[in-house]
Structure 1
Amino acid sequence: MNRFFISLNLNSIFDIYNMKDVKMVVTDMDGTLLNSNHEVSSKFFTLFKNLKQKNIQFVAASGRPYYSIVEKLQSIKEDIIIVAENGGLVIKAEEVLLSNTLHTKRLKALYNTVTSIADTYPIFCTQNQAFILRAPDELVKTFSEYYSNYTIINTFEEITDDIIKIALYHTSNSEAHIFPFVKHLKPELNVVVSGNHWVDISEAITNKGNALTFLQHQLNITPAETMVFGDYNNDLEMLKRAKYSYAMKNAHPDVKLVAKFETSTNDNNGVELVLEQLIAESGKH
C-alpha cells in the first residue's frame, strides 16, 4: 500500500515529495477541519494568513450547505472558494461558479423512496435553505448545526426551490440502515455515505471530485499542485484528484485505502499539522 503516516516526529517523510509545488489546498469540514465540537481552530486562521501570503488557494469542500460553511469561515469567506453540498454548489466571493440541481422529473419518485425508509429523516437541500420533513424537535436541533436556514414541511409540495441534494439522517448508523435501501439508485444518481448518520443523494455528476476538477481547470492548477484532506466516503473522488491526499486518523477505512498519506485526528489539528509543513516547505528556495 503506497500510503505514508505523519507525526510531529516524522517530518522526514515529506522529503518524498516536493511540497513547494502546492498551489491549492482543499479540505473537508466535519471530521476533518472541524473538531468534534464543530469548531475551526484559531491555529487554522493563523495558518490561512500564511497560505494567502504565499498565493495558495484555499477551498472548503463539504456536504454542508453554503451558508453553513460561511458561518464557520466567516472571517475569510471573501478569500476562499466554497464547495458545498458535496460538489453540488461552488461559490467564490458570492459568485456561483457551478450549480447542479436534481432533475425535477425524478423528485417525486425520490421523495416516495426516501420517506419509506424506517427511522430515517430526509432533508431537502437548496442553495439558500433546507426543507426538513416532519422531524422531532430534538432532531431539528441536531440538524440546525448543519442547516441553520431551514423550513419544516409536511408535504413535498411545500418545497419551493430547486433541490441540490437530499440528505438522509439515521439516529444510529446510516451505512447499515439507510444505504441498503437507496444504493439501487446508483449509478443514475450519486448515493454516498457521508457520515456515521448521513447518506446523501444528488445527480450522478455531483461529487467533490468533479467540483475539484472544475476548479483545477478554472484556476490552471494540476492534481500535482493540489493538496486534499478528507475523512468520509463523500471525499473519495476529490482525494483521487490530488497528488497530496490525506486521510484523517479518524477517517473511514475506505478513505484510508485511497489517500496516499494519513495525518492526525480532527481533534488533534491533523490538517494544521500538514499545513505547517507545507508553509515551511513553500518558504524554501
Structure 2
Amino acid sequence: MDLSKVKMVVTDMDGTLLNSKHEVSPKFLEQFTQLRKKNILFVAASGRQYHSIIDKLYTIKDDILVIAENGAITKDKNEEILQTGLDRATILDLLQLISTIDNVYPVLCGKKKAYIRPDSKEFAEKFKEYYASYELLENLEDYDDEILKIAIYHFESSETYIYPKVKHLESTLKVKVSGENWLDLSHVNAHKGYALQKLQDIFNISAAETMVFGDFNNDLEMLALADFSFAMANAHPNVTKAANYTTKSNDEYGVETILDQLLKN
C-alpha cells in the first residue's frame, strides 16, 4: 500500500478517532503535528454538532477542516464553506411524524445551538456528550434558528425501532442510521460525501490522494470518495463491505496505526 500521494486525511469521530470514552488520544495529537509539517490536510467529519467537534479537538481547531452534522455544515476555521439545512415546513412535518414513534427523543440541530424537550433527564445526560451548545424547549416548534438536521435517539436501537418508521422518506430526504442509538434526517445533499466532494474540489485533491476512516452508515458516502478507505474493526457490516481496507478498532488506535504508516511514507 503506497501512501506517498495522500494529501488529505478524513476521519469520523465517534467509534473511529475517539475511543469508547469519547476521548482523543495524545498520540493522534502528536501525529497531527507531523501531518501539518507534511502539508497533509486533516478533516474531522462527524454527525456531532460543530461546537462539540471543536471542543474535542480544541488544541488544533484553528488548523483543521470540519464537516459537522453529517455534512449539513462545513467550515474552515470560522469560514463557512457549505450549509445545507431544512425548511420550516419540512421540519414541522417531521416533528409530527416523530411524535407518532414510541420511546424516541428528537433533537433539532440548529446552526446556533441544538434544541431538545426537557422531558427526560436520562436522555439529556446522553445528549450532552454530542452537543456542547443547546437549549431546552417545551415545544420544539418554537425554535428560532436555521435547522441543519433532526437527530432522533432511541436507547436500544435506532436501526430497529426508528428506521422502519422513517425509511419511506428516503426519496426526498437523507435518512441515516448514524450510530447504534441515533438516526438523522436531513436535506438530501446533507451528507459527509457531498461535503467531502466540495472540499476535494476546493483543494484540488483526488480520490487517489484521499484517506478516509469510518465506522457507521453515515460514513458510506465519504468512504466511496477515497482510494484509501478504512473501516474500523468495530464498524457496521455495511462499512466493512464498502471500505477498501480495514484497521484496528477505535479502542486499539486503529486510526493512529494507519497514520503511523502514512507518516513513514
Q: Which residue of 2 aligns with 1:168?
A: 152
Partner of 1:181 in structure 2? 165
Aligned residue in 2 for 1:152: 136
Cα distance between partner residues in 1 of 2:122 and 2:79: 35
Between the aligned partners of 1:56 and 1:135, the Cα distance in structure 2 is: 45
- State the partner residue of 1:267: 251
Give the structure 2 partner of residue 4 of structure 1.
none
Aligned pairs for 1:64-213 (under 5 A) are 64-213=48-197
How far has the Cα of 1:108 moved from its partner? 1.1
Return the TM-score normalized by structure 2.
0.99
2:48 and 2:9 mapped to 1: Cα distance? 18
Report Cα offsets for 1:64-105 as digits up to 9, x if no partner: 010000000000011000000000000111111101110222
Q: CA separation in 2, counterparts of 1:157 and 1:115?
A: 12
Match of 1:5 in 2: none
**Equivalent pair of 1:88/1:164 in contact (CA under 8 Å):** yes
8 Å Cα contact 2:49-2:132 kept in structure 1: no
Which has the larger displacement, 69-78 or 104-113? 104-113
1:232 shift after superposition: 0.1
Aligned residues: 265
5+ residue gaps, structure 1, are 1-13
Matched with 1:214 is 198
2:98 counterpart letter in structure 1: V
Check the 8 A contact 1:87/1:210 in 2, yes or no. yes
For normalisation by structure 1, the TM-score amounts to: 0.92
* CA distance, structure 2, for counterparts of residue 226 and residue 198 of structure 1: 27
8 Å CA contact retained: 2:224, 2:242: yes
Deviation for aligned residue 1:141: 1.0
CA RMSD of aligned residues (A): 0.8
**CA displacement at 1:152 relative to structure 2:** 1.2
Q: Gapped runs of 5+ residues in structure 2?
A: none
Q: Runs of 4 or more off by more than 6 Å in structure 1? A: none
Take 2:258 and 2:90, find their aligned partners in 1: how far apart are those partners? Answer: 42
Bigger CA radius of gyration: 1
Q: Aligned-pair distance for 1:240?
A: 0.3
Report deviation, 1:148.
Answer: 2.0
- CA distance, structure 2, for counterparts of residue 153 and residue 105 of structure 1: 19
CA shift at 1:156, angstroms?
3.0
The answer to whether 1:236 aligns with 2:216 is no
- Are 1:227 and 2:227 matched, yes or no? no
Q: Which amino acid is the alignment partner of residue 47 of structure 2?
A: G
Q: Do 1:115 and 1:121's aligned partners in 2 also have CA atoms closer than 8 Å?
A: no
